[in-house]
Chains A and B, each alone.
Chain A
Amino acid sequence: MKVQYQPQPQNSLNTFILFFIIHSIQVGIGVQGFQRIIFFEAKQDAWISVVLAGIFTHLVVMVMIKTLQLYGPADIYGIHDEVYGKWIGKFVNSIYIIYCLWVFMTILMNYIEVMQTWVFQTVPTWLFSASILLLVIYGVTGGIRVIVGACFFSVILSVWMLGLIGYPFRFLDYSHLLPVMESNITSILKGTYKMTLTIIGFEILYVIYPFLKEKGKVTKFAHLGIAGTNVLYLLLMLLTIVYFSPGQLENTIWATLSLFKVIKLPFIERTEYVAVSFWLLIILPNLMLYLWSAHQGVKRTFKLKSNGLVWFFSLIIFLGSLFIDTRIKINQFNDFFASIAFYLTFCYPFLLYILALIKKKMTTLKEK
Chain B
Amino acid sequence: MFFNKKLFLPKINLPSMDKDLIPATRELMSAEFKKRLQDSADILESEIGISGITLFSISTLIDKTMLHQDIIDPIKNKSFDSVQKIKEDLSIGEMEESTQMEKVVNSALDGNVIIYLEGNSSVLLVKIPSQVGRSVTFAQNESLVIGPQMAFTESLKTNLTLIRNYIKDISLCIEEIKVGARTNKTVSLIYINGIVSEQMVGTLRKRIQELKIDGILDSSMLEQLLSENSLSIFPQTALTERPDRVSDSLLKGKLAIFVDGSSLAIVCPQSFMEFFHSMEDSNVNWQIATFLRLLRFTALFLSVFFTSIYVAALTFHYEIIPQTLLFTLSESRAKVPFPPLIEALLLEFIIELLREAGARLPVKVGQTMGIVGGIVIGTAAVQAGFTSNILIIIISLGALSSFVTPSYTMGNVIRILRFPLIILAGFWGFYGIMYGFCFLLLHLLRQTSLGTPYLAPFYPPRLADWKDSIIRLPLSFTNKRPNQTRAEDVYKYDPVKAKKHK
Residues of A within 8 A of B429 (CB): 119-120, 277
* B434, B435, B455: the one within 8 Å of A149 (CB): B455
Q: Which residues of B contact A139 (CB under 8 A)?
A: 442, 445
Task: Give bound CA distance, A274 to B430, whole Å.
Answer: 7
> Do A119 and B434 touch (CB < 8 A)?
no
Q: Are B460 and A277 in contact (CB under 8 A)?
A: no
* Residue numbers in B under 8 Å from A115 (CB-CB): 431
What separation, in Å, do the CA atoms of A265 and B320 have in the docked complex?
Answer: 10
Residues of A within 8 A of B461 (CB): 14, 17, 152
Question: Please, which residues of chain A bring their CB within 8 A of the CB of B435?
Answer: 131, 135, 280
- Whether A280 and B320, one on each chain, are in contact in the complex, defined by CB atoms closer than 8 angstroms, is no
Contact partners of A284 in chain B: CB under 8 A:
438
Question: Is A365 an interface residue when CB atoms closer than 8 A count as contact?
Answer: no
**Contacting pair A267 B322 (CB below 8 A):** yes
Q: For A153, list chain B residues within 8 Å (CB).
A: 441, 445, 458-459
- Which B residues are in CB contact (< 8 Å) with A123? 428
A149 close to B320 (CB less than 8 A): no
Looking at the complex, which one of B316, B320, B428 makes contact with A271 (CB distance below 8 Å)?
B320
Q: Does A138 contact B (CB under 8 A)?
A: yes
Asked whether B162 is an interface residue with its Cβ less than 8 Å from the other chain, the reply is: no
Per the bound structure, the CA–CA distance linking A268 and B430 in Å amounts to: 13
B317 at the interface (CB under 8 A from A): yes
- Chain B residues touching A, majority SS: helix
Contact with A along B89-131 (1 / 0, CB 8 A): 0000000000000000000000000000000000000000000
Q: Which residue of A lies closest to B439 (CB)?
A: A135
- Whether B347 is near chain A, meaning CB under 8 Å from some CB there, is no
A252-288 vs B: 1/0 string, CB under 8 Å?
A: 0000000000001111111101101110110010000
Q: Closest approach, in angstroms, between the C-beta of A290 and any C-beta of chain B?
A: 16
Answer yes or no: B189 CB below 8 A from chain A CBs. no
Separation of A274 and B439 alpha carbons in the complex (Å): 17
Asked if A119 and B439 sit within 8 Å, CB to CB, the answer is no
Contact, CB under 8 Å: B322 / A281 = no
- Check A135 against B434 for contact (C-beta < 8 Å): no
B433 contacts chain A at the CB level, 8 A cutoff? yes
Residue in B434, B453, B458 whose CB lies within 8 Å of A277: B434
Cβ contacts under 8 Å, B355 to chain A: none
Contact between A142 and B446 (Cβ–Cβ < 8 Å)? yes
- B356 at interface, CB cutoff 8 A: no
Q: In whole angstroms, what is the CA distance A281 to B438 when docked? A: 6
| B462: nearest chain-A partner, CB-CB | A14
Which residues between 444 and 499 of chain B lie within 8 Å of chain A, taking CB atoms? 445-446, 453, 455, 458-461
Q: In the complex, are the beta carbons of B445 and A273 less than 8 A apart?
A: no
CA distance A284 to B317 in the complex (A): 23
A205 at the interface (CB under 8 A from B): no
- Whether A224 is near chain B, meaning CB under 8 Å from some CB there, is no
In the complex with contacts A266-B322, A269-B320, A119-B431 CB distance below 8 A: yes
Q: Which residues of A contact B455 (CB under 8 A)?
A: 149
Task: Give complex CA distance A271, B453 in Å.
Answer: 34
Residues of A with C-beta under 8 A to B442: 135, 138-139, 142, 146, 150
User: CB-CB < 8 A to B460: which residues of A?
Assistant: 14, 17, 145, 149
Q: For residue A270, which residues in chain B have a CB less than 8 angstroms away from its CB? A: 317, 319-320
- List CB contacts (< 8 Å) of A276-317 with chain B: 276-278, 280-281, 284
Interface of B with A (CB < 8 Å)? 316-317, 319-322, 325, 428-431, 433-435, 437-439, 441-443, 445-446, 453, 455, 458-461
Could you name 8 residue pairs across A and B whose Cβ atoms are closer than 8 Å? A135-B435, A135-B438, A145-B445, A145-B453, A150-B441, A265-B322, A269-B319, A281-B438
Binding site for B on A (CB under 8 A): 14, 17, 115, 119-120, 123, 131, 135, 138-139, 142, 145-146, 149-150, 152-153, 264-271, 273-274, 276-278, 280-281, 284
